[in-house]
Amino acid sequence: MQVITTVQKMQEIAQTLKQSKEKVGFVPTMGYLHEGHTTLMDEARTNNDVVITSIFVNPLQFGPNEDFDKYPRDEARDQQIAEKHGVDYLFLPNVEEMYPRLSGISMDVTSRVDVLCGKSRPGHFAGVVTVLTKLFHLTQPDHVYFGSKDAQQVAVVDQLIKDLNFPVSLHVVPTVREEDGLAKSSRNVYLSTQERAEAPALFQSLSLAQQKMFDGEKNPAIIVNEVKNYIQSHTSGMIDYVELLTFPTLELVAEIDQDVIVAVAVQFEKARLIDNVIISTDGSIDNVVL
């Protein structure tokens, strides 16, 4: 595995790969790698000639009161994990390399962002699409891999690729979970012992929503209230949101007559956890294909 730290070197490698017509899979991350990330790498490794992974904690997607400085980092460990999972090139730039000057061009996202995490994090997805646009240009992948846990991000990336005509295919990999159902996340390390014991209730509440739909419930309000009540009864966390929306357009729906996402966010003392399930009209869990 080759570690790349400069934009220029990454561009040179990407151009060489493009000329050789090798199929390139790209996995963008913010590091502190866990099984969710490595599942994406394994999927990319299986289906491409070359795998590029980036590790970059992007300051543009953190708000003024968010955890950019506290975001967990362990580059040495991450390099070992990436190499073990077949990554050919690890792009590991610092902030000055990615943003060497004040940009004269800004990006904005005007749909799929006024709900879920985007509602309480103004500017977050503008930061996401800015860094992804740079990374797509730098790595020139044929295929890019994201996890369905960050479903709103997946929806925004889908729109970014389509609206700006990036010649890249988006692949969405199912959420990787602990044995008790908790979605894998770099932020799980911040949970106290009690909070860690409570955290599986997020997925349990989503499973309850799925069961309600499977049993024929079509009223979104009833399902949302069931999920809220379950979380409030089984955790000490504060609910940020529970929403049921169409997917991937992320619009409100009066009656469930199409694929929907049920998504939750819960704030514990030092960690904000998100989770979701995407459910077909018959109540089955839907594998995301965009």
Catalytic residues: 37
**90-113 b/e with 16+ CB inside 10 Å = b?**
bbbbeeeebbeeeeeeebebeebb
Q: Who's near 55: CB < 8 A, 6+ residues apart?
A: 29, 30, 31, 33, 75, 78, 82, 90, 91, 92
Q: Yes or no: say if 133 and 164 are a contact pair by the CB < 8 Å rule.
A: yes
CA angle 65, 70, 74 (to 5 degrees): 150
Q: Do the annotations mark residue 124 as ligand-binding?
A: no
State both tokens at 150: 């960050």
Q: Do the annotations mark residue 15 as ligand-binding?
A: no
Q: Do the annotations mark residue 120 as ligand-binding?
A: no
Tell me how many helices (H) and strands (E) the chain has: 10, 9
Other C-beta atoms closer than 10 Å to the C-beta of 192 total 13
Q: Do the annotations mark residue 37 as ligand-binding?
A: yes
- The DSSP 8-state label assigned to residue 287 in this structure reads P
End-to-end Cα, the chain, rounded Å: 31
E strands within the chain?
2-4, 24-29, 50-55, 89-91, 143-147, 169-173, 238-246, 260-267, 272-279
| Calpha distance 144→157 (Å, rounded) | 10
| Calpha distance 195→272 (Å, rounded) | 11
Q: Packing angle between helix 124-139 and helix 7-20, nearest 10 degrees?
A: 50
Q: Do the annotations mark residue 148 as ligand-binding?
A: yes
The DSSP bridge pattern shows strands 143-147 and 169-173 to be parallel
Q: Do the annotations mark residue 34 as ligand-binding?
A: yes
Q: Do the annotations mark residue 149 as ligand-binding?
A: yes
Q: Do the annotations mark residue 233 as ligand-binding?
A: no
Q: Do the annotations mark residue 108 as ligand-binding?
A: no
Q: Do the annotations mark residue 147 as ligand-binding?
A: yes
Q: Do the annotations mark residue 153 as ligand-binding?
A: yes
Annotated binding site: 30-37, 61, 147-150, 153, 176, 184-187
Annotated binding site for (R)-pantoate: 61, 153
Annotated binding site for ATP: 30-37, 147-150, 176, 184-187
